[in-house]
Amino acid sequence: MKHSGDERILRRLSSGDTDPILVADFQAMSMSPRLSDMLSERIQGRAVFQIDPIGVLSGERWYVPLPELAAACADEFRESGAQHGRVIVIGHCSAAPLALHVAGLLAHDRAVTAVLVNPTWPGDEHVTVKFDEFLAKFGPAARPAPDLNDDPELVVSAMAQILLDEVTALAASRGVSSSAGAFSDLIVWYRAWLAFLLAGRNDRQIRRAAGQAAVTVLSDSPSQVTVPGRNENTYLVRELPPQPVGAVTPELAEIVTARVAPSQSSIA
């Protein structure tokens, strides 16, 4: 994947010499810290990297297939100099499929464990429900999502146009310009998130994505956990206490720290 300097998918959050940690997560539309940020503050002496697909999809390319995003991440990680020890690749919620792909690619070179935190596997309903949720932010109008089986770039463009139409109407009703920074940034963020979910929905390689990587799942619904392409006896499942849907809390960060760096957790 070709990218400019500000479209890199991987960002180092902390320094360290061995056993690096990569975290695929999302920036909520709030001031709340990301899971990757909280882990980098808690785990000392190990490089923590943030995998940011939304940052990439907010740039010139509106749609990038999941395997291509993963390959860009793996390439950037190999260039980072974090060459020693086992790699931990963490995927939170709908970033789990990307984490599996990255883990599988890196497992060609070294020992890797994928840690999936309340993983979800995007499908049609996931994409359309999120589209409806974003659309509802701008008013009561209900408009159908485009056909998800069409060309992905056209699907993303169509969803973005629908959102833009609604935010333009909202802005006009309030007497402000729809090009105002807050509206523009919001549309880009919604578009990028929908593009990432669509990439997960379209992924046909997920059943073999993890490759030789070990897989551990942390879930508040362990009886409902599945990992595509894996028999249930080939991955570990550990129960989480109930979590607010999609929320990233300090308590969750402590639990994940206890799993990946037990000596540095206050609950270890």
pTM for this entry:
0.92
Indicate the pLDDT class of residue 169, thresholds 50, 70 and 90: confident
Q: Which residues of 22-39 are buried (b: 16+ CB within 10 A; e: fewer)?
A: bbbbbbeeeeebbbbbbb
Residue 34 scores a pLDDT above 60: yes
The burial class, CB within 10 Å (0-12 / 13-18 / 19+), for 49 is buried
The burial class, CB within 10 Å (0-12 / 13-18 / 19+), for 149 is exposed
Which range, 38-52, 159-173, 176-190, is most confident?
38-52
Euclidean distance between CA atoms 37 and 145, whole angstroms: 33
**Where is average pLDDT lowest: 47-51, 121-125, 163-167?**
163-167
Percent of the chain with pLDDT over 70: 93
- For residue 29, what pLDDT is reported? 64
The burial class, CB within 10 Å (0-12 / 13-18 / 19+), for 261 is buried
